[in-house]
Amino acid sequence: MRLPRLSRFVPGPLVRWFARPYVAGGSIEAGLAVAHDRLARFGVRATLDLLGEAVEREFQVLRNLATYEAVLDRLGADERFADPATRPTVSLKPSAFTAGPPAAARGPIFDLAGRARERGVGLTLDMEDRRWTDLTLAWSTELYAAGHDVGTVLQTRLNRTRADLEAIPPGMRLRLVIGIYPEPPEVATRSRLEMKERLLAYAARLLERGARVEFATHDEPCLERFLREVAPRAPDRCEIQMLLGVPRRPFTRRLLAGGYGLVLPFRLYVPFALSWRDATAYLRRRMDESPNMALLVLRNLLATQRATGPGAGG
């Protein structure tokens, strides 16, 4: 029998307190400030994300669209990010752009993709639960084929991902993750070991097909294997990605210094929120995926509130 999700036993105010290292802040400027800080001090890149998917009202769709438009405009004009190679990318979830049928998100997403291209900003269509997989893959590959700098995400917990890899065209960015959305056993594995083995196998397959692999995990043994067994096959098409607030500082320092044999681009997923409700929902999902997250956050908070490592919170 499946146990209740751990995060449901944690009061909202305590979740918000825990969220501090994981969420850049409550404004666009807060997200940009964290992205610039990590880039200036550690050479770490960022992908910015507005928390607030699965909307239910049309005004939320309009709010999300306006916020992303402003983010793209700011990134295109901000002198702190003048170098296109290190300019933050932007991640978005399709369910943030429709209060009705999923297909209605296409218009706003394609409008944002056009704006991103005009501003010289890379865009990633994040992957949500299995109901969004087909649409997200179709839209992201269509945009990439039309010349947009657009990538997407695949989750190794889903059994269909092995076949979905074959839809990723050469040169396209693909963030490879385990995934945090609970899925039924008929469509997804429950084995953490299998999820991690799939990460390595699927990364190798993507490199074989000419894709750009954004390897996103905090599992240190898995990362070490990626750096030693997979990435050397095409290091110019590999990147390491982690969540803001999660990486252990000794590990990331060694990673950035090439202590595992390769120096690869390193990017932090930097979320910001316009409401604590959205930030709380985000952290609850992360806690469900990794029950020891609360202990990790508490350790970071007790250690120091100063950002002494690239993964530290804002």
Say which CATH class 6-300 falls into.
Answer: alpha beta
DSSP 19: T
What residues have CB less than 8 Å from 229, skipping those under 6 apart? 200
> For residue 294, is pLDDT > 70?
no
- Measured from the Cβ of residue 63, the count of other Cβ atoms closer than 10 Å reads 17
74-117 confidence digits (pLDDT tens): 999 999 999 999 999 999 999 999 999 999 999 999 999 999 99
Helix (H, G, I), strand (E, B) or coil at 270: strand
Q: What pLDDT band is residue 144 in, cutting at 50, 70 and 90?
A: very high
Domain ranges of the chain: 6-300
**What pLDDT is attached to residue 239?**
97
Using alpha carbons only, what angle is made at residue 37 by residues 81 and 17, rounded to the nearest 5 degrees? 130
**Residue 2 clears pLDDT 60, i.e. is over it:** no
The conformation of residue 90, written as its DSSP 8-state character, comes to E
**Burial of 308 per CB tally in 10 Å (0-12, 13-18, 19+):** exposed
| Tokens (6 digits) for 196 | 């991690």
Q: Token pair for residue 55?
A: 């909307």
Cα–Cα distance measured from residue 81 to residue 270, given in angstroms and rounded to the nearest whole number: 15
User: How high is the pLDDT of residue 242?
Assistant: 94
Residue 84, C-beta contacts closer than 8 angstroms, at least 6 positions apart: 120
**What gap in Å lies between CA 123 and CA 117, rounded to an integer?**
9
Confidence of residue 47 (pLDDT cuts 50, 70, 90): very high
Q: Is the pLDDT of residue 253 over 90?
A: no
